[in-house]
Amino acid sequence: MLAKQFAPLFGLAVLLTACGSDSPEPVPPDATTPDSPSPEAGAPVDPGTETEGPPTAADGAQGSGCTPTSETTLPDGRWFGLVASTTESSIEFDLACWFTGDAAIAAAESAGEEPPPNDYFVRNNNELTRELPVAQDAEVTFYLSGDPTSEVQGDVPAWRGILNDRGIPFGIWVQTSGGEVTSVEEQWVP
């Protein structure tokens, strides 16, 4: 008789354990800001964990995300941002968040904006810039005329020459390693 009374409770406990053991903790959409550290901020993203598209960081942004733990440097990774200025050996970099797909829609919504028409959304909530040293052998992918068909690869001096003539209409991705920028890639947008 006692077994009949506890059998439904035992079944319910097994069901709840099976359903709840792999569920991630819910994270509020506003849990991180571009300058607030998160436990996984700046951690390299394992591209093998993604099913399609570029790697996504714990904060939902593409690349290594937009919530590093330092306001002066960037950990090793791939970071999106804007160029404030350049010198022969450094980039004044304004870190921003680059979202695509559903993450872009959610980020736009949380900013009180319409869903993005081109499947990307950029959030830049602060004016903080970082002076990032650039490795002497850093490669740069850029657009000579601003047109996506004019993509070339060169070095920092060639890129700086183009910036002086063309201006800085694009955001960029920087790859950092050992405290230096090892590559720069302009992000063309429609």
Contact between 31 and 38 under an 8 Å Cβ cutoff? The reply is: yes
Given a cut of 80, whether residue 37 has pLDDT beyond it is no
- Per-residue pLDDT of 45-65, as tens digits, reads 333 333 344 577 777 899 998
pLDDT at residue 54 in the model: 56
- Per-residue pLDDT of 133-174, as tens digits, reads 999 999 999 999 888 899 999 999 999 999 988 888 899 999
Q: What is the mean pLDDT of residues 123-142?
A: 94
Tell me the domain boundaries of the chain: 51-187
133 residue type, one letter: P
Higher pLDDT, 134 or 23: 134
| Residue entry with tokens 């970082």 | 130
Backbone angle region of 101, left / alpha / beta, with phi > 0 → left and psi within -120 to 50 → alpha: left
